[in-house]
A and B are shown apart, each in its own frame.
Chain A
């Protein structure tokens, strides 16, 4: 696989991952969000596998398989269950409206490009071309978390943030040591499960998952 092709595929894969993230800003329904997250995880797994093939690193294949299993299949199943419970509560009026959110998303991608310039210039790897897009996903996910009103959307934003960081690690350094990788997976899974429990708790206590209701504790 020639380095140029790898560069193109890295940018292509990273673009797909980022686009799925931008879907979260565009679409409003919970089902659409979950589909976007699933597509993003699959694209991430594919990119990881591609880098693994190029680098000849079996550990990346294992990571790709884990990504597919946990984030492409496992977590979406749990999310679907939550969606069935809370799916009728659409993200009606986020703090920032859709068109502006998309424009802000675009600006964040540009910002990410500027921020990662020193990284791209020091690296020698052909996969480094996709790094700005991965950082862009990190910023866009942060924006999703702070600008959306439904607790479920915030959880999805957090999961996408983790996807973005994983992509950054894969493209920038061909993955992190396997011990740390597995630990990270466990952490994210546990974190997600606890968050899921909390969303149910919020729903029981507040009768909705609108985080605007969480305003009793002030100053």
Chain B
């Protein structure tokens, strides 16, 4: 198979799996809390419903309000082309490395925050400012943590990093790697709006961060934003899984290897989803002024990861 075909294949696999991932996490959380919970494919049904619904836009909204869902969705899909989802090395490696990934994600966050401010509702503004507080601390942590891995691999290219860990398996347990894993795990919780930073299932506006920004959206716009959020979760899980535990990722582009890659990816996503569900069930949501403390702690972990990689 031509390597350039890998890009669209990766993107479509990600798009297909993402809502299922969110549903699976929700289902596991419900089971842990002794509830039956909605089936894992519920988000697919939700998306179908939303695409069919009418769009209602506030009178005060500008062009930004209509454009933002597309920008967010587009940038997130672009990231799926750059992460080692199914195979390494990636064909788009020349186009983007870890810095591009981090900033594409940040682009999405930025426009989402603007979209929250745009209609002029107070909840949107509140959500936007909170989101920026979280992002300000989470983004450098993310960059540092992956940089710790990049230092060992000798390149900031994500595919290259995964490839390197495949080549020298003992590096997977290096202190720098373990610390970076912990740091990125905390960042995942923060960036994807999970407990203890943000409760995805809350209906109380005063406790919302992500939900508050999309409060004004409806119909297909809301569908796009929800899908983008699910994609973001998938991307972070992919980074956690395939950068730190890269076994299963296809090195050649044969259909067999790719199918195996999809299978192992699904396993890793399931495991990480279970871990997140466990964490969410155990921890209460932090008060907002305590969130910077948590994120500072993860920043320090990332910093230590970098120094540990320097030292060895």
Interface residues of A (CB under 8 A from B): 7-8, 11-12, 15, 18-19, 22, 26, 98-99, 102-103, 105-106, 109-110, 113, 120, 129-130, 132-133
User: Is B117 among interface residues, defined by CB-CB distance under 8 A?
Assistant: no
Smallest beta-carbon distance A96→chain B, Å: 12
Taking CB atoms and an 8 Å cut-off, the chain B residues in 257-311 that contact chain A are: 292-293, 295-297, 299-301, 303-304, 307-308, 310-311
- Are the C-beta atoms of B175 and A109 separated by less than 8 Å? no
Cβ-closest chain B residue relative to A28: B293
- Are the C-beta atoms of B310 and A109 separated by less than 8 Å? no
- Are the C-beta atoms of B311 and A130 separated by less than 8 Å? yes
Complex CA–CA separation, A99 to B303 (angstroms): 14
- Are the C-beta atoms of B296 and A8 separated by less than 8 Å? no
- Are the C-beta atoms of B296 and A103 separated by less than 8 Å? yes
- Contact A105-B300, Cβ < 8 Å, known A8-B312, A132-B307, A133-B307: yes
- Contact A15-B175, Cβ < 8 Å, known A7-B312, A130-B311: yes
- Contact A26-B307, Cβ < 8 Å, known A15-B175, A15-B179: no
Contacts of B312 in A (CB 8 A): 7-8, 11, 129
- Contact A129-B311, Cβ < 8 Å, known A8-B175, A99-B293: yes
User: Is B174 among interface residues, defined by CB-CB distance under 8 A?
Assistant: yes
- Are the C-beta atoms of B307 and A102 separated by less than 8 Å? no
- Are the C-beta atoms of B307 and A98 separated by less than 8 Å? no
Contacts of A113 in B (CB 8 A): 307, 310-311
Smallest beta-carbon distance A6→chain B, Å: 11
16 additional A-B residue pairs with CB within 8 Å, beyond A99-B292, A110-B307: A8-B173, A12-B175, A18-B304, A19-B304, A22-B297, A98-B293, A98-B296, A102-B297, A102-B300, A103-B299, A105-B300, A109-B303, A109-B307, A113-B307, A129-B312, A130-B311
Contacts of A11 in B (CB 8 A): 175-176, 308, 311-312
Smallest beta-carbon distance B147→chain A, Å: 14
Contacts of A18 in B (CB 8 A): 304
- B304's partner among A8, A99, A109, A120 (CB-CB below 8 A) is A109
Cβ-closest chain B residue relative to A23: B297
Contacts of B293 in A (CB 8 A): 26, 98-99, 102
- Are the C-beta atoms of B303 and A110 separated by less than 8 Å? yes
Contacts of B307 in A (CB 8 A): 109-110, 113, 132-133
Smallest beta-carbon distance B202→chain A, Å: 24
Cβ-closest chain B residue relative to A9: B175
- Are the C-beta atoms of B304 and A15 separated by less than 8 Å? yes
Complex CA–CA separation, A102 to B295 (angstroms): 10
Complex CA–CA separation, A18 to B303 (angstroms): 12
Complex CA–CA separation, A120 to B311 (angstroms): 9
Complex CA–CA separation, A132 to B308 (angstroms): 10
Complex CA–CA separation, A19 to B174 (angstroms): 16
Q: What are 13 sample pairs from A and B whose C-beta atoms fall under 8 A apart?
A: A8-B173, A8-B175, A11-B175, A11-B312, A22-B297, A22-B300, A26-B297, A99-B295, A99-B296, A102-B296, A106-B303, A120-B311, A130-B311
Contacts of A8 in B (CB 8 A): 173-175, 312
- B299's partner among A12, A106, A110, A133 (CB-CB below 8 A) is A106
Contacts of B304 in A (CB 8 A): 15, 18-19, 106, 109, 133
Complex CA–CA separation, A179 to B107 (angstroms): 61
When A and B form their complex, which 7 residue pairs have the shortest distance between CB atoms, in order from nearest?
A: A102-B296, A99-B296, A12-B175, A99-B292, A106-B303, A98-B293, A129-B311
Cβ-closest chain A residue relative to B310: A113
Cβ-closest chain A residue relative to B295: A99
Contacts of B310 in A (CB 8 A): 113
Contacts of A109 in B (CB 8 A): 300, 303-304, 307
Cβ-closest chain A residue relative to B178: A12
Contacts of B175 in A (CB 8 A): 8, 11-12, 15
Complex CA–CA separation, A12 to B176 (angstroms): 8
